Structure 1
Amino acid sequence: MSYLLPTLTRKKEVDTIVRDTIDKVLVLRFGLAVDAVCLQLDDILAKTARELSKFGAVALVDVDSEDVQVYVKYFDITLIPSTVFFFNAHHMKMDSGTADHTKWVGAFHEKQDFIDVVEAIFRGAMKGKLILNCPLPPERIPKYQLLYKDV
């Protein structure tokens, strides 16, 4: 399914889409096209692309690409898939009850969960908010143990 979504492999492509996506939520999925959880997420992203087209845009970022490592490091992408949200070139954060508000880690359980999150970010962004609460119930949010190196 991911062939329906643009895949970015260069820093310049990521810079351009972040800068040029105006008045829509930009969803960047950082991951690998061969990872099973990424494929599950990509399927949901591709199925919702048309429904979200008025207020959202989705692109995939290949974490193996040497040229995008600046973003992988900046957003601390250690677990894939990780999904990062932007609105008018501003990084949008979401409090989903996890330690990390900068990104969504893992796949969404279903299409509607993803739509609800993007809608919430869009509504919050239109009110000038840069961080908002996750609209999903806690049991629908993937939980990951954060592993700290050298502790």
Structure 2
Amino acid sequence: MGSIVLPHLNTGWHVDQAILSETERVVAIRFGRDHDPECMRQDEVLYRIADRVKNFCVIYVCDIDQVPDFNQMYGQLLTALELYDPCTIMFFYRNKHMLCDYGTGNNNKLNFVLEDKQELIDIIETVYKGAKKGRGLVVSPKDYSTRYRY
């Protein structure tokens, strides 16, 4: 099971520290509920790619039910990012939220399950390369507008 092996951020402070402390790599955080079927599927993919992206990305999971102070600390962020999807991946670089245009109309987060390992690696790599160049918004290597309708 992926989420058992991926490092968990159990408090708002841990989320904060994960985002603040990493200076060279992208921080990818999967927000959601560990027991949610979508999260379980996504975590499995994240677990399978973690070793392949470890030089430029660190992956965490955060169960929003297990983080009591999360809404307190991140209330504004949650409101701004509408973190109510069953499963959401957000990217950060040097304490900055990274935006990615997936073609879905939502650049704040990846809010659909991506089961293709290489596609997810490509997105993370694109976010990393853009972040290194100082970009706050990158365009996903693939357009997901036709595949994922909302």
By the TM > 0.5 criterion, same fold? yes
Q: Which residue of 1 aligns with 2:47?
A: 46
Equivalent residue pairs, number: 144
Q: Output one character per residue of 1:105-150: Cα deviation in whole Å (capped at 9) or x when no partner.
A: 021131111100000001111111000111124368533x2xxxxx
Residue 38 of structure 2: SS of its match in structure 1? helix
Decide which of 69, 72, 76 is 1:67's aligned counterpart: 69
Residue 8 of structure 1: SS of its match in structure 2? coil
**Normalising by the residue count of structure 1, what TM-score does the alignment of the two structures yield?**
0.88
- After superposition, the CA RMSD in angstroms is 1.6
Alignment of 1:15-54 (within 5 A): 15-54=16-55
Alignment of 1:86-105 (within 5 A): 86-105=92-111
Whether the 8 Å contact between 1:9 and 1:68 is mirrored in structure 2 is no
Residue 138 of structure 1: SS of its match in structure 2? coil
Structure 2 runs not aligned, ≥5 long: none
Residue 126 of structure 2: SS of its match in structure 1? helix
- Shift in Å at residue 84 of structure 1? 0.5
Distance (whole Å) between structure 2 residues aligned to residue 141 and residue 79 of structure 1: 17
Distance (whole Å) between structure 1 residues aligned to residue 46 and residue 146 of structure 2: 17
Percent identity over paired residues: 26
Distance (whole Å) between structure 1 residues aligned to residue 111 and residue 148 of structure 2: 7
Q: Output one character per residue of 1:41-88: Cα deviation in whole Å (capped at 9) or x when no partner.
A: 000000111001100000001111321122544432111201110111
**Normalising by the residue count of structure 2, what TM-score does the alignment of the two structures yield?**
0.89
Distance (whole Å) between structure 1 residues aligned to residue 121 and residue 148 of structure 2: 16
Q: Output one character per residue of 1:7-65: Cα deviation in whole Å (capped at 9) or x when no partner.
A: 11211000100001111111010011111110000000001110011000000011113
Query: 4+ residue runs of structure 1 moved beyond 4 angstroms?
Result: none
Residue 134 of structure 2: SS of its match in structure 1? coil
Distance (whole Å) between structure 2 residues aligned to residue 37 and residue 48 of structure 1: 17
